[in-house]
Structure formats: structure tokens, C-alpha cells
């Protein structure tokens, strides 16, 4: 995780769940897409996958409506205009 963290420019990131890892009916991790600006990428966005522990995931702020959602979508579009590329964790 520290390797990926060193590639992320200071500021907000967008996390979207897309899969759950279950064992014996219990969620063990949430696999998420992370969209962010890279340290050396200018205005370009980058996307990577991470696994988040359910307790940590539950502590994250949920943004699904209102002003917060509009701000997130504006951020997504701003990153998309600069280009979005998959990055590997160094």
C-alpha cells in the first residue's frame, strides 16, 4: 500500500467498490477501484485496485447524493479530461 501511496498526489481520491471477497459467508475484504491524480502526471488521472478491510471500509465517508456527489463527479470529469491510465504499484 505504501508503494501506491507514494504515487498519489496530495488531495482527494475516489474509491469505488466493485467486488467483495467472502470466505464462509463473511466479507473479508472489499476490492476497490481507486481514482487519483499521480505525483508526476500533471492533470492526468490514474486508476488502480486495492483491497480494503471491512472495518476500514465502514469508516470511509459515503458520498452518494447532494453536493458531495456533485463535487466527486466534477473531480472525476476533471481527471478524465487529462486522461486516465492504469498504474501498477511500484
Per-residue pLDDT tens for 29-68?
999 988 888 887 666 778 888 999 999 988 987 777 788 7
90 pLDDT above the threshold of 70: no
Give the C-alpha separation, 23 to 16, whole Å. Answer: 21
Phi-psi region of 80 (alpha: psi -120 to 50; beta: other; left: phi over 0): alpha
> Quick check: pTM over 0.85?
no
Q: By the 8 A CB rule, do 27 and 65 touch?
A: no
Amino acid at each position: 500500500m505504501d508503494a501506491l501511496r507514494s504515487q498519489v498526489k496530495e488531495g482527494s481520491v475516489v474509491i469505488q467498490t466493485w467486488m467483495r471477497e467472502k470466505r464462509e459467508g463473511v466479507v473479508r475484504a472489499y476490492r476497490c477501484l481507486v481514482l487519483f491524480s499521480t505525483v508526476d502526471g500533471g492533470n492526468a488521472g490514474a486508476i488502480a485496485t486495492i483491497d480494503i478491510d471491512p472495518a476500514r471500509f465502514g469508516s470511509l465517508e459515503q458520498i452518494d447524493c447532494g453536493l458531495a456527489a456533485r463535487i466527486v463527479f466534477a473531480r472525476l470529469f476533471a481527471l478524465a479530461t487529462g486522461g486516465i491510465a492504469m498504474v501498477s504499484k511500484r
